[in-house]
Structure 1
Amino acid sequence: MSSFEIAVRSLIGTVFLISSLSKARNRAAYRGFVRSLAHMRIGPPALDEPAARAVLTAEFATWTLLAVPTRTAGRLGLLLAALLLAAFTFGIARTLRRRSPVACNCFGLSATPVGARHVVRNLLLAAVAVGCLLAPAARGPAGPGHVLVAALAGLAAGLVTTALDEITALFRPLPDGGTPRAPVRPFAP
């Protein structure tokens, strides 16, 4: 496995690991995710709960496949990630076209509405996944040092990706007379 593939699998795996665990960590987080799907109005209301279960299952499957150190499992995980990211992008873009503010519960309960940055984030992640799928296989295994650096780089990039809403909130101007609002943390009790 190449250093590039290790880094990409670590990045995408981290994103889906945090996404799935933040939605499944407790009943309130899961209900918030179901509500966000309902507010997006992507399908009939009767399908909100089954869709939430399907998304959560697919997210768990994605990071699990990416963690398995075989080429076949990794390729399946990257393909599943690209398909999920395309579906998420479609849902967010459709919501943005309706101009109805819906909280982005991508990484847990959040008051941040979905926006263009979420579309860009998902498109970039999908492009990275597809790029890794299309990259030629490594000629030989990466050395232990390369594996460690690539895995840590992917992990760091994944952590930054999942915290983008909180990072961008730091640079937004405060409302007149307002006080800083603490962002909702993905793993807050």
Structure 2
Amino acid sequence: MAFACQTVVAVTFAYSAATKAAGRAAFADFRGWLSSAAGVAAGAVAPVAAVMVALEAATAVAVLVPVLAPAGFVLAALLLAVFSAGVRSMMRRRVGVPCRCFGKGRRPPGVLHLLRNGALFAVAVAGGALASPLFADTAGAGPPPTVLANGGEAAALLAAVVGGTAALLLINLEEIVALYRHERP
């Protein structure tokens, strides 16, 4: 279970950071969005953008490193709380610009984004609990060595597939909803 949580958080945060830092144009677009939609002051846009991307990338790595996994999950939960507060603020201000959570979004910040953040927050909290020293058998990154030593490669693979699939569903939630509603791109 801990390995599945690690996979969800790592894939989601890595993808989010990568789409924002995919090149000069992508990063400039993200900075522009921070200024126009998120309301970040012009002088703070560049450092805020850089820190956000760095924190997302650091979170993706930290949850996979045994000694850092508990802190990585805490960082993920904190970031998701901040992101959710930002989404809620943009909803109150009726921001109509599509969200840049994962590159170019389809929809303005709204309930769908809050639901996705809530699901990721729950995964981060569960993963943090499972990676904590209180759960010594499952603490740290990846499947516990005892699982692999006892022929548990299939369980570890299943956890990775479940976690990766959940991450991809959450990343593509806007597109999935659009398909369900028969919306055109």
**TM-fit CA distance, 1:110:** 2.9
1:26 counterpart residue number: 23
1:55 counterpart residue number: 52
Moved more, 165-174 or 50-59: 165-174
With normalisation by structure 1, the TM-score equals: 0.84
**TM-fit CA distance, 1:173:** 4.4
5 Å-filtered alignment, 1:1-189, equals 4-68=1-65, 70=66, 72-135=67-130, 136-139=134-137, 141=144, 142=147, 143-174=152-183, 180-181=184-185
Runs of 4+ in 1 over 6 A off after TM superposition: none
Pair 150,173 (structure 1): closer, same or farther in 2 beyond 3 Å = closer
The one-letter code sitting in structure 2 at the alignment partner of 1:124 is A
Asked if 1 retains the 8 angstrom alpha-carbon contact of 2:95 and 2:109, the reply is no
Asked if 2 retains the 8 angstrom alpha-carbon contact of 1:9 and 1:154, the reply is yes
**TM-fit CA distance, 1:114:** 1.4
Between the aligned residues of both structures, percent identity stands at 35
Cα RMSD after superposing both structures: 1.6
The one-letter code sitting in structure 1 at the alignment partner of 2:100 is N
Gaps of 5+ in 2: 139-143
The one-letter code sitting in structure 2 at the alignment partner of 1:16 is F
**TM-fit CA distance, 1:67:** 2.4
**TM-fit CA distance, 1:138:** 4.7
SS in 1 for 2:137: coil
Asked if 1 retains the 8 angstrom alpha-carbon contact of 2:95 and 2:108, the reply is no
Asked if 1 retains the 8 angstrom alpha-carbon contact of 2:13 and 2:57, the reply is yes
Deviation sequence 1:106-137 (CA, Å, 0-9, x none):
11123422111101110221122112222441
Asked if 2 retains the 8 angstrom alpha-carbon contact of 1:7 and 1:150, the reply is yes
Asked if 2 retains the 8 angstrom alpha-carbon contact of 1:22 and 1:29, the reply is yes
Asked if 2 retains the 8 angstrom alpha-carbon contact of 1:42 and 1:91, the reply is no
Pair 166,41 (structure 1): closer, same or farther in 2 beyond 3 Å = closer
With normalisation by structure 2, the TM-score equals: 0.85
| CA distance in structure 1 between the partners assigned to 2:114 and 2:95 by the alignment | 15
| CA distance in structure 2 between the partners assigned to 1:149 and 1:125 by the alignment | 19
The one-letter code sitting in structure 1 at the alignment partner of 2:160 is A
**TM-fit CA distance, 1:145:** 1.6
